[in-house]
Amino acid sequence: MLRMLSTGVAGAVVLLGGVAVLAAVVTGQVESVSTGNRSIAIHIERQKATKSYKLSPAAKVTIDGKPADLERVEAGQTATITTDGRDDLATKVSIRTLKTVKANPKTAKAEKAAAEDRPATAPGDWPQHRGPQRDNISLETGLLPQWPAEGPPLAWTAGGLGEGYSSVAVVGDRIYTLGTREREEVLFALAASDGRIEWTAPLGRIFEDGTGNGPRSTPTIDGDRVYALGGHGDLVCANAANGEVVWRLNILQEFGAQNIVWGISESVLIDGERLICTPGGPQATMVALDKQTGRTLWRCGIQGNPSAAYSSPIIVTVGSVRQYVNFVQTGVVGVRATDGQPLWGQQASANRTANCSTPLAASNVVFTASGYDTGGALFRLTSSGNVTRSEVAYTTRQMQNHHGGMVLLDGHVYGFDNQILTCLDLRTGKPVWQDRSVGKGSLTCADGCLYLRGEDGPVALAAASPKGYEERGRFDPAGRSQRPAWSHPVVAHGRLYLRDQDKLAVYDVKAR
C-alpha cells in the first residue's frame, strides 16, 4: 500500500570539482533559521535527529516553488535541503507551506457538479489524449464498416512537424500536436482541411534519447486554451486561436523533480479549474494547478518519493469521492480531487522499468497493466465518507500492455499483450480471444470497431467484439519513417489520423 509522504533522505550523483560525489536530498521540518550565519536546522523524522545546514553563497531558496529570501523561512515549515556532496553545505532550500485541508463534503459535491456541468465536447472532437472521456473511445458514428482492399482513401498529408511521438488532438477546424523545430520542442496548430500549419508556440529544449528525440505527450484543449507538456517537463498554456502563450512553467524545476529515463510523457488532465499533472519526486508526486494562471492549488506526496511514470491520469468517482488515478514509478495511486490527499495505492500491475498505459475505469473498479513481464490487475474500490480504499480483485499475466493503450468496452478489455492483440474478460481476467496478425502496437475504438496500428507499420480495422478477431481491412501507410509507429491512432470528424514523426497522414473513414 502506498502512503502519504514522509520525511527522509535520498541521493543523487553530482560533479564537485570534476569528481563524482553523492549529493543528498533531505526532507524535514524546520526547527530554526539563522539569517546572519545563513544556516537552517531541520528535524528529520526517520533519523529521529536534528541537523544543521549552512547555505552556500550561491544557494537558492524557494517557498512553494517561488524564489524567496531566507528571512521568510519559518519554524514548522517543511523543508527539502539539497547538498552538493559535502554533508552540511546546502545548495538549495525548498520550503513547502501548503497544508492539506480537510475536504468539506458540501464543497466536494459542488466542485463535482461544476466540473460535470462543463459544456459537452462537440460531436466528433478529440480534445485530448484518449479522447473526450479519456477512455480511448470515439463518439463518431456512420464510419466505414469495411475498408477497400487498398485501405481507406487518403485525404491529405502534412510535413514539417519534426521529431517526437505525440499524437493529435482535434477540435473544430484545428488539429494540435507536438514536434520539433531546430533545437526546440514546439506546439503546432494545423488546419483540419489540409494540414497547413497555422501557428506554432515554443515549449523548450528538445528531449534527446536513443529511442527517438522530441516530445512524447499529446496536447489537451479546454475551451479557448491549449495545454502542452514537453519531454523536459516544460508546460505551456497557449491561446487556441493564435498560439499566444498565456503562462508557462517547468514542472520538474517548479517541484524539485528529476526527469525520467525516456522523458516526461504525460498528457495533462483538465478537470474544472484544475490542471492535473505528475512531476514525481520528494516535493510533489501529483499536483493540481490553476488552469488559468499555473498557480499551485495543492500538491500530493507519496511515501518513498516515487518518480513519475509514462502514464496519464484519469478521473474516477467512487461513491461521492472524486479522485485522480495514475501510474507512478512504483504503482497505481488514487488522489482525492478536492485537496490532493492520497487515498489508496496498489503495486500489483506495476514494474520498476516503465509503467506506460493509462488506467481504465468502470463501476467502482480500475484496471491497469504494464509490460516487462508484469501484466494487469483489477482493483476494487469502496468509499466511506471522504475516503476510498482498494483491494486486488485479480492479477493476470496475459495483458502485458507496454505503451499501446487499452480500451474497455461492454465488459471486455482490448489491448496488446506484447505482440498479441487480446480480448480480456474484465470480470475474470481471462482471455476471450487472441490474435497475432498486426504484431505489437496501439489502438483506439470508434463506431464498434478497433483501429489497430502495428509499431512496424501495418494499420488494420477489426470488429470490437468478444466473439473473435474479425478483420475488416488493412493497409501499409506509404512514406514510413525509420522510427517505430508509436503515436496512437485517432478517429475524429470522420477521419483517421496517423502521426509518424515529421508527417501526419489523414484518411477518410466516413461512410458515404
* pLDDT tens-digit series, residues 216-240: 999 999 999 999 999 999 999 999 9
According to CATH, the superfamily of the domain at 131-508 is: YVTN repeat-like/Quinoprotein amine dehydrogenase (2.130.10.10)
| Cβ neighbours for 135, distance < 8 A, ≥ 6 positions apart | 360, 361, 407, 408
Q: Is the pLDDT of residue 22 over 90?
A: no
Sort 378 into a burial class: Cβ within 10 Å, 0-12 / 13-18 / 19+.
buried
CA 150 to chain CA mean position, Å: 35
Any residues with CB less than 8 A from the CB of 376 and at least 6 apart, and which?
349, 367, 368, 369, 370, 395, 396, 398, 399, 400, 401, 413, 424, 429
- Scanning the structure block, which residue is given the C-alpha cell 485501405? 151
301: its cell numbers = 506526496
Question: In Å, what is the CA distance from 263 to each residue of 197, 205, 369?
Answer: 26, 12, 20
Please write down the HEC assignment for all residues of 15-43. Answer: EECCEEEEEEEEEEEEEEEECCCCEEEEE
Q: Rounded distance, CA 126 to CA 129, Å?
A: 8
pLDDT at 101: 33
| High-pLDDT (> 90) share of the chain, % | 75
pLDDT at 87: 63
Residue 228: strand, helix, or coil: strand
pLDDT at 21: 35
**Tens of pLDDT, residues 364-414:** 999 999 999 999 999 999 999 999 999 999 999 999 999 999 999 999 999
Taking residues 196-208, report their average pLDDT.
98
Q: Where are the alpha helices (DSSP H) in 247-304?
A: 251-254
Angle at 282 between CA 276 and CA 283, to 5 degrees: 50
- Closest to 274 (Cα-Cα) out of 256, 300, 253: 300
Q: Which residue has the cell 495514475?
A: 326
Nearest to 428 by CA among 382, 396, 389: 396
Tens digits of per-residue pLDDT, 411-463?
999 999 999 999 999 999 999 999 999 999 999 999 999 999 999 989 999 99
Q: Are 445 and 464 in contact, with CB atoms under 8 Å apart?
A: yes
Going by C-alpha positions, the residue among 509, 474, 470 that lies closest to residue 491 is: 509
pLDDT of 287 reads 98
Domain with CATH 2.130.10.10 in the chain: 131-508
Residue ranges, CATH 2.40.50.320, the chain: 9-96
Q: What span, in angstroms and rounded, lies between the C-alpha atoms of 404 and 357? A: 7
Confidence at residue 246, expressed as pLDDT on a 0 to 100 scale: 98
Q: What is the three-state SS of 63-104?
A: ECCEECCHHHCCCCCEEEEEECCCCCEEEEEEEECCCCCCCC
Contact 424, 376 (CB under 8 A): yes
Beta strand 406-409 pairing with 412-417: antiparallel
Q: How many Å apart are CA 440 and CA 421, to the nearest integer?
A: 8
pLDDT of residue 91: 87
- Which of 386, 403, 289, 407 is CA-nearest to residue 344? 386
Order of strands, sheet of 490-492, starting from the edge strand that comes earlier in the sequence: 154-158, 503-508, 495-500, 490-492
Residue 29 pLDDT: 76
405 touches 130 (CB < 8 A): yes
Helix or strand (DSSP H, E) at 115: helix 105-116
The answer to whether 461 and 452 are in contact (CB under 8 A) is yes
The reply to whether CATH 3.40.50.10890 applies to domain 9-96 is no
pLDDT exceeds 70 at position 65: no
- Is residue 418 a contact partner of residue 400, using CB atoms and an 8 Å limit? yes
Q: In this structure, are residues 42 and 28 in contact, taking their beta carbons and an 8 Å threshold?
A: yes
Torsion of CA 24, 347, 400, 278, to 10 degrees: -50
- What does residue 199 show for φ and ψ, rounded to 5 degrees? -160, 165
Cell numbers for 268, please give them. 495533462
Nearest-Å Rg of the Cα atoms of the chain is: 23
pLDDT band at residue 53 under the 50/70/90 scheme: confident
